A = this chain, B = another copy of it.
Amino acid sequence: MTETIAGYGYGTAGRSPVTMKDLEELRASVLFGPQDEEALRLAGDVLEDQVEDVLDVWYGFVGANPHLLASFSTPGGQPVGEYLDRVRARFGQWILDTCRRPYDRQWLDYQHEMGRRHTSLGKNRTDAADAASHVSMRHVIALIYPITATVRPFLERKGHTPEQVEAMFQAWFKSVVLQIALWTRAYADVREW
Contact = CB atoms under 8 A, between A and B. Distances in A.
A18 to B, nearest CB: 9
B145 A177 contact: yes
Q: How large is the interface on A (under 10, 10 to 19, 20 to 34, 35 or more residues)?
A: 35 or more
A25 interface: yes
A17 B94 CA distance: 34
Sorted from nearest, which 7 A-B pairs have the closest CB atoms? Answer: A29-B142, A189-B189, A30-B145, A141-B181, A25-B67, A188-B191, A145-B177
A190 interface: yes
Given A22-B138, A138-B26, A138-B184, A145 B31 contact: yes
Given A138-B181, A141-B184, A185-B138, A146 B29 contact: yes
Q: This chain: how many copies in the complex?
A: 2
- Of A30, A137, A178, the most chain B CB neighbours within 10 A belong to A137
A41 to B, nearest CB: 20
Contacts of A170: 149
B192 A187 contact: yes
25 contacts: A25-B65, A28-B67, A29-B65, A29-B139, A29-B146, A30-B142, A30-B145, A31-B146, A120-B192, A134-B192, A137-B184, A138-B185, A141-B181, A142-B181, A144-B144, A144-B177, A145-B174, A145-B177, A145-B178, A148-B173, A184-B184, A187-B192, A188-B190, A189-B191, A190-B190
Given A25-B67, A29-B65, A190 B142 contact: no
A20 interface: no
A128 B161 CA distance: 52
Contact of A136 (B177, B189, B193): B193
Interface in A41-74: 65, 67-68
